């Protein structure tokens, strides 16, 4: 597993845990940086992802709700929400990551972390966001 893939997984873990515990993701991120629960430090890219998703969460969630035909955010598995938020942030706000890479990484993590149906759902929803991206950023 590559360094960025590990960083994405760590960001998803932090976003998921913060939602489950009902605490601010940035507070949890600071806790993980200051008092690591594992030997591995939080990668900088994980911090960038958590900070970026948190800053743009309202916009990201609005887009996910709009383009996830028939699925509200609350109805989605919590892991899928975290994966979709990370993938959408990379697609919309990180020009260093090609859109196809952001989608592939999110789909791969969905296959490892979520339900059997999640990879195709994540792929379809993030693919739709890529399709409408030019109008979103215009």
* Residue 24 main-chain phi, psi, to 5 deg: -65, 135
Q: Would you put residue 22 in left (φ > 0), alpha (ψ -120 to 50) or beta?
A: left
Lowest average pLDDT, out of 16-20, 37-41, 110-114, 130-134, goes to 37-41
pLDDT in tens, 47-100: 999 999 999 999 999 999 999 988 899 999 999 999 999 999 999 999 999 999
Spatial separation of the C-alpha atoms in residues 124 and 116, rounded to whole Å: 14
On the question of pLDDT at 42 being above 70, the answer is yes
What's the pLDDT score for residue 5? 94
Packing angle of the helix pair 78-93, 3-21 (nearest 10 deg) = 130
pLDDT in tens, 96-129: 999 999 999 999 999 999 999 999 999 999 999 9
Packing angle of the helix pair 118-136, 78-93 (nearest 10 deg) = 30
Q: How many domains does the chain have?
A: 1
CATH code of residue 57: 1.10.940.10
What's the pLDDT score for residue 138? 65
Spatial separation of the C-alpha atoms in residues 125 and 109, rounded to whole Å: 15
Spatial separation of the C-alpha atoms in residues 33 and 60, rounded to whole Å: 25
Spatial separation of the C-alpha atoms in residues 40 and 116, rounded to whole Å: 29
On whether the pTM is more than 0.85, the answer is: yes
Among the listed residues 122, 113, 115, 106, the one whose alpha carbon sits nearest the alpha carbon of residue 71: 122
- Token pair of 73, please? 């955010």
Q: Which residue range(s) make up the domain with 73?
A: 3-136
């Amino acid at each position: 597993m590559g360094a960025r893939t590990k960083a994405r997984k760590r960001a998803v873990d932090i976003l998921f845990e913060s939602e489950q515990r009902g605490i601010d993701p940035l507070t949890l991120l600071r806790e993980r940086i200051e008092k690591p629960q594992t030997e591995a430090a939080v990668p900088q890219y994980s911090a960038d992802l958590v900070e970026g998703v948190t800053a743009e969460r309202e916009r990201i969630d609005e887009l996910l709700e709009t383009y996830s035909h028939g699925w509200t955010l609350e109805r989605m598995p919590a892991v899928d929400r975290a994966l979709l938020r990370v993938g959408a942030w990379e697609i919309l706000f990180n020009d260093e990551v090609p859109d196809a890479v952001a989608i592939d990484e999110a789909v791969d993590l969905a296959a490892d972390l979520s339900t059997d149906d999640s990879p195709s759902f994540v792929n379809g929803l993030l693919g739709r966001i890529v399709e409408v991206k030019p109008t979103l950023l215009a």
